[in-house]
Structure 1
Amino acid sequence: MTVAVLALQGAFIEHEQVLNHLGVEHIELRQASDLKKTFDALILPGGESTVQSLLLHEQNMFEPLKKRIEDGMPVLATCAGLILLASEIEGQETSHFATLPVKVRRNAYGRQLGSFHTESEVKGIGKVPMTFIRAPYVSETSPDVEVLAVVDNKIVGVRYNSQFAYAFHPELDDNTQIHELFLRSISAKS
């Protein structure tokens, strides 16, 4: 199994470190030619969703990746990655990939000073540490979206088919269970 990590901007190195720790082969996606490499799954890291989307378009990677996601490629999205996948973004007329039928609120906890750390339940795992940095949350879901995590009555983790999306940064904590759950879902699919 090879996991591709979107490496245009954001916390991609931290995801790669988790994959290294777990012994999972991975590649970086930086330009359109990288899409010719073979990979089985995709990680969309935290960072700046607007910048990532702009760079995806500039590098001619947006449409090919969107098609792969629509065709069922497993995706793990964290923070900005959740915003990239969401079909609706509160206060915006447009969205990005729009493959995940949820509405998100950007910077829902305020700016950098509103960042926080907590521990909470994730369905199928148990309690995990959660680091929120200028994080979004899911304000609405379609009925076929499975809610995986809730903090302070706000949805912060969801699954839709083979798309896993979290409002927090599991790659910034030592706990690897979020990545392991994602990797198990890929193995179960193949």
Structure 2
Amino acid sequence: MSSPSIGVFALQGDVREHLVALDALGVDAFPVRRADELERCDGLIMPGGESTTMVKLVRAFGLFDDFAKRIHEGLPTLGTCAGMIMLADRIRDGIEGQETFGGLDITVRRNAFGRQVDSFEGDVDFTIFDDPVHAVFIRAPWVEEVGPDVEVLARVDVPDVGDRIVAVQQGPLVATSFHPEVGDDLRIHRYFIDLVTQS
């Protein structure tokens, strides 16, 4: 596969920023709002946004089962911030009955870093990169538990709390607590494109 087709879940969230990043890396990138667009995907990005709103909209459009099925069948998927929540098998501090697509054997805590005013940025060391990634955290989740098949890619030290996991991978699924589409560091997107190409 020379140039994979990567869709960005476009019912809600940071769609444009991901499309710009993918375009800069020369891949066929497009918003996904319908089942036929989902079928075109060699890979999928679940962007940051509001996870509860995402679920409501994808249910309203009758697409929840389509997305869940493709992800569980092995569609390479990158989830960022709210997208991480959408890929998690388990949520803490979600709304009652909150649904996710699942696929990642992780437990995430929603809005773990606090409210919008608690947003921050900083350099994060990754196991897969030589140099740190400058990460922007906006009402971000963190990962509290991982299953045996989940690889931890990055952690941050949270004052008065300790180490918290902020990036993981399980097979073709990758998720970050922060927003890699913000700024000009495209390494996470490039890593994901390589993963799609190899799948």
What is the TM-score of this pair, normalised by structure 2? 0.91
Consecutive aligned runs of 4 or more in structure 1 exceeding 6 Å deviation: none
For structure 2, the residue ranges without an aligned partner over 5 or more in a row are: 158-162
- Which position in structure 2 is the counterpart of 1:86? 88
- Which position in structure 2 is the counterpart of 1:45? 47
Which amino acid in 2 is paired with 1:16?
Answer: L
Counterpart Cα distance in 1 of 2:36 and 2:172: 25
Over the aligned positions, Cα root-mean-square deviation in angstroms equals: 1.2
**C-alpha deviation, 1:84, in angstroms:** 0.5
Equivalent residues of 1:86, 1:95 under 8 A apart? no
Residue-by-residue CA offset, 1:3-53 (whole Å, 9 max, x unaligned): 0100111111000000111111012112334334x2200000000000011
Which amino acid in 1 is paired with 2:53?
Answer: V
**C-alpha deviation, 1:95, in angstroms:** 3.5
Bigger shift: residues 148-157 or 119-128:
119-128
- Which position in structure 2 is the counterpart of 1:95? 99
- Which position in structure 2 is the counterpart of 1:155? 165
Counterpart Cα distance in 2 of 1:100 and 1:83: 9
2:147 is the counterpart of 1:142: yes
For structure 1, the residue ranges without an aligned partner over 5 or more in a row are: none
Equivalent residues of 2:107, 2:144 under 8 A apart? yes
**C-alpha deviation, 1:136, in angstroms:** 0.3
Counterpart Cα distance in 2 of 1:21 and 1:94: 35
- Which position in structure 2 is the counterpart of 1:175? 185
- Which position in structure 1 is the counterpart of 2:27? 24
Equivalent residues of 1:88, 1:94 under 8 A apart? no
Number of aligned pairs?
188
Aligned to 1:172, the other structure's residue is in SS state coil
1:75 to 71, 74, 77: 77
Residue-by-residue CA offset, 1:141-163 (whole Å, 9 max, x unaligned): 11110000101110000001100
Bigger shift: residues 131-140 or 115-124:
115-124
Aligned to 2:181, the other structure's residue is in SS state helix
Bigger shift: residues 27-36 or 64-73:
27-36
Counterpart Cα distance in 2 of 1:20 and 1:12: 12
Counterpart Cα distance in 2 of 1:33 and 1:55: 17
**C-alpha deviation, 1:94, in angstroms:** 4.4
Equivalent residues of 1:32, 1:60 under 8 A apart? no
